[in-house]
Amino acid sequence: MAVVKSIAKRTLSLSIARGRDADGNAINKSYVYSNVKPDAEDEKLMAVGKALGGLFDNDMTGLVVVERAELMEE
């Protein structure tokens, strides 16, 4: 039997640099955007992430897409 993956939910998490702590470790702040279309293309998600990152004063340090999917057998 073939297994089919169906994406039920996606979120986009954007990390922004906020400076360094007393020990010199990087401090990042994450912003999470929910209700991302399950069928959104990766290229479009990257473009949106970069556009959102451009709205902040500090640099974007990461972009993560989190998916919740359901597996079914056909």
Q: How many CB atoms lie within 10 A of CB 49?
A: 19
pLDDT at 10: 94
* 26-36 and 60-73 beta bridge pairing: unpaired
* One-letter amino acid for residue 72 of the chain: M
**How far, in whole angstroms, is CA 45 from its chain's centroid?**
8
CA 19, distance to chain mean position in Å, is: 21
pTM above 0.95, yes or no: no
* Interval 4-54: pLDDT, tens: 999 999 999 999 999 999 999 999 999 999 999 988 999 999 999 999 999
Whether residue 12 contacts residue 62, with contact meaning beta carbons closer than 8 Å, is answered with no
What single-letter DSSP state applies at residue 53?
H
